[in-house]
Amino acid sequence: MKNILGNLGLATTASVQLTFKRGDGQPLKTATLKTKGGEPEQLPLFSSKETICAEVKVANSPGKKVDHYGIKVQLLGQIELASERGHPQDFLSLVRDLAPQGDLVKQETYPAEFANVEMQYDSHRGIQVRLRYLLRVTISRSYANSVVKDFPFWVRNYEAAPAPVPNAAPIKMEVGIEDCLHIEFEYDKAKYHLKDTVVGKIYFLLVRIKLKHMEVEIRRRETTGAGTHARNETETLAKYEIMDGAPVRGESIPIRLFLSPYDLTPTFSNVHNRFSVKYYLNLVLVDEEDRRYFKQQEIQLFRLLDDKAAANGTAEAAHISS
């Protein structure tokens, strides 16, 4: 509310523009995000330890002088829970003064630079929490509300591919319902990058129910709070049918699930002690009477360093079918 009013006030007095630039002089990268309205939104994209440069243009309304106590730009990292909307918690705050107290009589341009900023958390827009980064330009004024304007940007961090572990055990687990259904599932590994492919197999050790089909779901669980106050929100991001019909004992069904079509993020664990985002593969078996049997298995997601170049645009989300 304060911001909105401030902006309204400013609109009559001063305008603020900010242009992001990279410290290394390379063209600016952007991230394309889906918004709730469906219109894609483009945001400048940075990673931790990068230098964020900005060019801030401040202009007064023609013929009107703006006096102020000073102009600054802040780099903020905020975590905002849905339950405490409007009161984000800053986990990162850096400031650069752009101009001392004075009068603004014409348009001024100020460069700003945040070098090697540590932005350990990825940007996140979840159901009950979001983590965002922004540059905030403030024109402080004494007699009126200050002019504050936010310029969000997106942060993604990358990991190097983990060194291959020669005898890395796949995720393998035998589950079942006694005398009814015993299966063993196997995913080739526990940790995947976002464009990775999940490869696995389901062995049917015992089948006494008439199955109709089987699918793998990718589920995301966002957790806020801790202990008894913990709150979970789970989303199913993908349903991928891997089997049609009823197998018999001894059959093995292959799984090959490409992650790239889905809007996934890396796994976030305990971000700033406020929230976590975890991913699960949920194996669902549906019988002829539409009863569902499932087994959920957490997988770790990370953003592969090699993806960095491609990350300029969003991944191609080719949802071929519903």
In the complex, which residues of this chain contact another protein (CB under 8 A)? 213, 238-248, 251-254, 256, 258, 261, 318-322
Q: How far is the CB of 41 from another protein (least distance, A)?
A: 22
The CB-of-284 to another protein minimum distance in angstroms stands at 13
The tokens for 96 are 């650069």
The CA-based dihedral angle spanning residues 253, 254, 258, 261, taken in that order and rounded to the nearest 10 degrees: -30
CB of 34 to another protein, least distance (A): 17
Which of residues 135 and 243 has its CB atom nearest to another protein in the complex?
243
- Rounded to a whole number of angstroms, the minimum distance from the CB of residue 135 to another protein is 36
Q: How far apart are the C-alpha atoms of 119 and 4, rounded to whole Å?
A: 27
Both tokens of 290, joined, read 């539409």
Q: Which is nearer to another protein, 140 or 260 (CB)?
A: 260
- Angle, vertex CA 41, rays to CA 217 and CA 271, nearest 5: 55
Cα–Cα distance between 93 and 188 in angstroms, integer? 41
Kindly tell me the burial class for residue 167, based on how many C-beta atoms sit within 10 Å of its own C-beta (0-12, 13-18, 19 or more): exposed
Which of 162/250 has CB closer to another protein? 250
Residues forming beta bridges with residue 298, ordered by sequence position: 280
CB of 178 to another protein, least distance (A): 23
Nearer to another protein by C-beta: 49 or 256?
A: 256
Shortest distance, CB of residue 282 to another protein, whole angstroms? 15
| Residues 265 and 299 sit within 8 Å (Cβ to Cβ) | no
For residues 36 and 108, the answer to whether their CB atoms sit within 8 Å is no
Complex with another protein: residue 162 or 245, whichever CB lies closer: 245
Instruction: Between 80 and 196, name the residue whose CB sits nearer to another protein.
Output: 196
Instruction: Count other C-beta atoms under 10 Å from residue 169's C-beta.
Output: 9
Find out whether 293 and 285 touch, Cβ atoms under 8 Å: yes
Backbone φ and ψ of 303, nearest 5°: -100, 120
Residue nearer to another protein on the CB measure, 169 or 318: 318
Residue pair 134/153 in contact (Cβ under 8 Å)? The answer is yes
CA 297/CA 281 separation, integer angstroms: 5
Cβ nearer to another protein, comparing 111 with 250: 250
CB of 188 to another protein, least distance (A): 15
Distance in Å, CB of 118 to another protein, minimum:
36
Q: Are strands 252-258 and 191-193 parallel, antiparallel or unpaired?
A: unpaired
The rounded distance, in Å, linking the Cα atoms of 177 and 90 is 48
